[in-house]
Amino acid sequence: MSAELKPTVTVSPSARPQAALPTLGMVRGIYAFWRRNALVWRSNWIAACFAFVLDPAVFLFAFGYGLGAAFTTMSGMPYFAFVVPGMMGLGLLYTSFIECSYAAFFRMEAQRTYHAILATPMALGHIVAGEILWAGTKATLSSSFILLVGACFGGVLTGWHSLLAIPVATLTAMAVGAMALLLTSVSRRIDDFNYAWPLLVTPMLMFSGTFIELARFPVWVQMVGKCLPLYHGVEVMRMLTSGHNLVLETVWAHIAYLVAIIIVFGALALARLNGRIFK
C-alpha cells in the first residue's frame, strides 16, 4: 500500500466527527438512529412485545378487578375507566425508562454503539433525539394496546377522539425518556440506576394519579407528583378517554409542560454526553 493511501484524518471518539466529515441533516440523522434501533428490535420483536405490551394489559386486568373491588368510583368516574389511562401511563413509564436508561447505557458503554456511530457523519444530537424518539415509539405501541384492551372492556367513555390519547402517550414517554437519558449520561455503572427506582420511577408510578388519584395524598406529595411529567400525561389522557373535565386550555398547558421537559432534559443530556464522550 502506498503512503498516500493512508488515511490522513483519523476519526476517533476524541475528535468531533464534524471536523472530519460533513454531518447529516437533522431529520435524516435522527431518522437514521431511530431506524438503527428499530432494526435491532425487529429481530426479536415477538419476545420483546411480550413484556411491554402484554404486561401492562395484565396489570389493567388485575387493578381493574382487584382495586376495582375496593374503589368503585374514583375522580367521579367508574374505577375501570379511571385506571385505563393510568395503566397506559404505567406501560409507557416502564418502557421508556428502561429503554433510555439500561438499554441506552448498554449501547453506550458495553457495545460502544455511540462511539461507532459518531465515526460516521452523525452528530451526538441525532443520537440523543433518536434515542428519545425511539423510546416514545416503543411506548406508543404499549399504550395503544392498553387503550385497545381498555376500550374493549368498556373503560373508554368517549368516542373516537380518545385516540388522541395515543400521541399524548408518545409525548409523555419522550419526556420520561429525556429524564432517563440524563441519568444515563451521569451514571458511572449500570448499577447506579438502582437509585433511580426509589427516587424517580416509583414516585412517578405512585404519585401521578395512575391507579390512585393524587388528591388522596398529602399536599406535599401532590406537589412532588405534579412536578413529574407522568402526572401531566396521565391527566390529559384521562380527559381524552373519559371526557371528564376536558378543558382545551388545560390540555395545552399540560402538553406545553411535557414539551418543556423534553427540551430541557434532552439538552442537559446532550451537554453531559458531549462532555463524557468527547472528553
Partner 1 sequence: MSTTPERGRQTMLGGIAAIWMRHYRVWLRIFWPSVVSGILNPILFLFAFGFGLGAVVKQVGDISYLHFVVPGMIANAALFQSSFEASIPSYTRFRIQRTYEAMLAAPLFFREVVYGEILWAASKGVLSALCLYLVAWAVDGLGSLSGALISFPLVALSCASFASLGLVCTAYARTYEYFSFFFVFWITPSLLFCGVFVDPAAYPQWLQWATWFFPVKHLIEVIRPLCAGLSVDWTMVALHMAYIMAFMFICAAMAARRMAKKLFD
Q: Which residues bind partner 1 (CB under 8 A)?
A: 44, 47-52, 54-55, 58-59, 62-63, 65-71, 189, 191-192, 194-195, 197-199, 202-203, 206-207, 211-212, 216-218
Q: Closest distance between partner 1 and the C-beta of residue 147, in Å?
A: 19
Residue 205, Ramachandran bin (φ over 0: left; ψ between -120 and 50: alpha; else beta): alpha
Contact by Cβ (8 Å): 177, 132: yes
* C-alpha count within 13 angstroms, C-beta hemisphere, residue 240: 25
* Rounded Cα distance, 229 and 100, in Å: 15
DSSP assigned state of 22: P
Q: Which is nearer to partner 1, 67 or 255 (CB)?
A: 67
Contact (CB, 8 A) for 142 and 53: yes
* Cell matching residue 259: 414539551
Secondary-structure breakdown of the chain: helix, strand, coil percentages, each rounded to the nearest 5: 80, 0, 20
Shortest Å distance, C-beta 246 to partner 1: 25
Is 50 or 278 the residue whose CB approaches partner 1 more closely? Answer: 50
Q: How far is the CB of 206 from partner 1 (least distance, A)?
A: 4
If the CB atoms of residues 129 and 230 are measured against partner 1, the closer one turns out to be 230
Angle at 74 between CA 53 and CA 144, to 5 degrees: 20
Going by their DSSP bridges, the two strands 77-78 and 73-74 should be labelled as: antiparallel
Q: Closest CB to partner 1 among 21 and 54?
A: 54
Q: How far is the CB of 109 from partner 1 (least distance, A)?
A: 14
User: CB 250 → partner 1: shortest distance, Å?
Assistant: 24
**Residues 95 and 55: beta-carbon distance below 8 Å:** no
Smallest distance, Å, CB 60 to partner 1? 10
Between residues 98 and 156, which has the closer beta carbon with respect to partner 1? 98
**Do 161 and 240 form a contact (C-beta atoms < 8 A)?**
yes
Q: Which residue, 19 or 39, is less far from partner 1 as judged by CB? A: 39
